[in-house]
């Protein structure tokens, strides 16, 4: 969850990613649970993905994308 406060309003932006926990670690990239968090659609753990790909599908990346879209549409006026 990413929280954005502007004045008195607080907006929350959530990102979710579905995956499973592997019993064996795989991959060299990332940190924390990345070597054991397996994304079936990618057939890889987060630690096996290039950083750019991981960031584009991770819960943090999705929350950040939602926030950027909000800023573009609500704050900057892009529709």
Instruction: Give 7-60 pLDDT, tens digit per residue.
Output: 888 999 999 999 999 999 999 998 999 999 999 999 999 999 999 999 999 999
- Predicted local distance difference test score (pLDDT) of residue 30: 87
Distance set, CA 18 to CA 2, 24, 66 (Å): 18, 18, 17
* Three-class SS state of 37: strand
- Predicted local distance difference test score (pLDDT) of residue 77: 78
- Predicted local distance difference test score (pLDDT) of residue 66: 96
Instruction: Give 2-14 pLDDT, tens digit per residue.
Output: 999 988 889 999 9
DSSP strand E in 7-72: where? 9-13, 20-21, 37-39, 44-45
* Banded model confidence at residue 79, pLDDT cuts 50, 70, 90: low
- Predicted local distance difference test score (pLDDT) of residue 58: 95
């Amino acid at each position: 969850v990413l929280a954005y406060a502007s004045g008195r309003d607080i907006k929350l932006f959530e990102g979710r990613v579905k995956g499973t926990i592997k019993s064996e670690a795989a991959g060299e990239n990332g940190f924390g649970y990345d070597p054991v968090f397996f994304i079936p659609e990618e057939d890889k753990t987060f630690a096996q993905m290039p950083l750019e790909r991981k960031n584009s599908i991770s819960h943090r990346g999705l929350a950040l994308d939602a926030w950027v879209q909000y800023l573009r549409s609500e704050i900057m006026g892009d529709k």
